[in-house]
């Protein structure tokens, strides 16, 4: 069993203690946004100025293969077992926009491209991860991922730079058949899974999560399976709702400048946030944590530059 699995074992029999965060120092290199409405799926971007339309799997595949910078691909209906796969994006100034209407059903989402916006989809029991994001300048928002299954059971996985994960709802991740089912995760193992940088995770809702709401592992993570190349940094986790069962809601490992603010943690867990293995310059403030023994767990290597409540124990 890897350290990743060992250190995130489910906590049971914990005393219920209410902790209100935000008693530490303030200030950060990041400026997290204020909440833009309740956590979870909101109103998707209107399907206007559509340059391409799709209502079935073959039409979607054709529209994406023909799309280029600035195109708006509007998708409606139930696409059955088709997974939304995007391997060609737009430009930084004119991203490719792929828009559902809030009811558009697909069997998961995979983005392996730069400069892409995905908005307004529903994925019921997709093959995990429910959404996979890999590249730079990717946005996923207003999308529901319900009951991801198989593989490691994760709701969303992401790798790359300038990624925005906003106003999504992820439900019912299960540790079935050896899965380690988190709401969201990134890790850096090789060129195919690079270190993540400048990532905003804001106003999402994680419900019925068997493990963590978020795991961020750098290239030298304690799991011992990272590539050792690059640096994971500038991860902001703000205004999210977390209902989970692991020892903590958020684990930050080998990551510089993580900002954790404005979140609501409701799982019956040991501690809300874990910082380990040189998770330096972290900022923790303004969170609400219920049914936890203490808010922040931290090892000595993560103390440098930390701003937040006094740690109550180990990560």
pLDDT tens track for 15-51: 333 333 333 333 334 466 777 789 999 999 999 999 9
Q: What are the pLDDT digits (tens) for 43-92?
A: 999 999 999 999 999 999 999 999 999 999 999 999 999 999 999 999 99
CB 73 within 8 A of CB 99: yes
Give the separation between CA 197 and CA 256, rounded to whole angstroms: 9
| Burial per residue of 260-275, b for 16 or more beta-carbon CB atoms within 10 angstroms, e otherwise | bbbbbbbbbbbbbbbb
Q: Could you tell me if 97 and 71 are in contact, meaning their C-beta atoms sit under 8 angstroms apart?
A: yes
Q: What is the pTM of this model?
A: 0.89
pLDDT (0 to 100) of residue 31: 60
pLDDT greater at residue 281 or residue 8 = 281
Burial of 310 (0-12, 13-18, 19+ CB in 10 A): exposed
**The predicted structure's pLDDT at residue 7:** 36
Give the other-Cβ count within 10 Å of 98's Cβ: 28
Mark residue 290 as left, alpha or beta (left: phi above 0; alpha: psi -120 to 50; beta: remaining): beta
Average pLDDT score over residue span 181-189: 94
Across all residues in the chain, what is the average pLDDT?
89
Name the pLDDT band for 230 (thresholds 50, 70, 90).
confident
Q: What is the model's pLDDT at position 65?
A: 97
Distances (CA, A) of 253 to 29, 47, 82: 19, 39, 35
């Amino acid at each position: 069993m890897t350290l990743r699995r060992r250190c995130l074992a489910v906590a049971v029999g914990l005393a219920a203690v209410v902790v209100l965060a935000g008693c530490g120092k303030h200030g950060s290199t990041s400026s997290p946004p204020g909440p833009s409405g309740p956590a979870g799926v909101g109103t998707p971007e209107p399907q206007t100025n559509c340059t391409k339309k799709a209502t079935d799997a073959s039409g979607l595949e054709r529209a994406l293969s023909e799309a280029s910078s600035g195109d708006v691909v509007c998708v409606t209906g139930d696409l059955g077992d088709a997974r939304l796969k995007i391997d060609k994006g737009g430009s930084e100034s004119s991203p490719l926009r792929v828009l559902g209407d809030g009811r558009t059903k697909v069997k998961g989402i995979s983005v392996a491209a730069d400069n892409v916006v995905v908005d307004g989809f529903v994925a019921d029991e997709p093959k995990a991860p429910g959404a996979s994001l890999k590249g730079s300048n990717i946005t996923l928002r207003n999308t529901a991922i319900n009951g991801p299954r198989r593989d490691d059971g994760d709701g969303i996985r992401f790798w790359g730079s300038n990624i925005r994960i906003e106003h999504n709802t992820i439900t019912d991740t299960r540790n079935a058949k050896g899965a380690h089912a988190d709401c969201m995760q990134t890790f850096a193992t090789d060129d195919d899974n690079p270190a993540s940088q400048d990532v905003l995770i804001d106003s999402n809702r994680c419900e019925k999560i068997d493990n963590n709401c978020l795991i961020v592992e750098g290239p030298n993570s304690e799991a011992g399976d990272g590539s050792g190349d690059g640096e994971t940094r500038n991860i902001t986790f703000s205004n999210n709702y977390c209902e989970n069962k692991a020892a903590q809601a958020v684990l930050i490992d080998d990551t510089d400048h993580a900002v954790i603010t404005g979140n609501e943690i409701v799982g019956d867990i040991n501690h809300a946030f874990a910082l380990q293995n040189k998770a330096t310059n972290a900022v923790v403030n303004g969170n609400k944590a219920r049914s936890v023994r203490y808010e922040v767990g931290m090892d000595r290597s993560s103390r440098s530059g930390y701003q937040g409540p006094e740690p109550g124990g180990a990560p």
